[in-house]
Amino acid sequence: MPNHTIKTPCVGLCSTVYGDLVCRGCKRYHHEVIQWNGYTAGEKQAVWQRLEQLLVQVMASKLEVFDVERLRQQLQDRQIRFMPHQSPYCWAYQLIARGARVISRLDAYGLALLPEFRERHLADLRDAIDREFFLLSEAHYQRYIAPSFLKDAFGPALIAAL
């Protein structure tokens, strides 16, 4: 397990360079990707918290973490990077993202799929989780961020007229 902290949500699959408003890799907004190195610690923490909340929402709808210590130990044994201060549901995401093709029994990791997902292949479920996480991030962007960008760009009068 690397002893350095994870400094950015980036996973090396940036789609904002292709014009996406929400990165398909890390799920940050385009302006967050661009301005990340200029953000204060508080601004970075706010982004991390939003990403964690959205990911936990998706993960908790698919599985249960029933043994946090077993999950932590398995991640450490397999040298899968995770952020110890985040929710164990985020840890579960890291595990599934990296091991979906080789994990045969989730209970060995302290995890159990909810009944409606037990018949799905873990790799397919991983892809569905990633899509849902992206769609939720995109919806959050459209609801809370895009309107203020429009207001800043075009002025409140034009937005009110729309």
Query: Which secondary structure element, helix H or strand E, spans residue 51, and what is its range?
Result: helix 41-60
Residue type, 46: A
Instruction: State residue 11's pLDDT score.
Output: 87
pLDDT in tens, 110-150: 999 999 999 999 999 999 999 999 999 999 999 988 877 65
The position carrying tokens 């908790």 is 60
Contact at 8 Å (CB) between 29 and 141?
yes
Q: How much is the pTM? A: 0.87
Contact status, residue 87 vs residue 80, Cβ threshold 8 Å: no
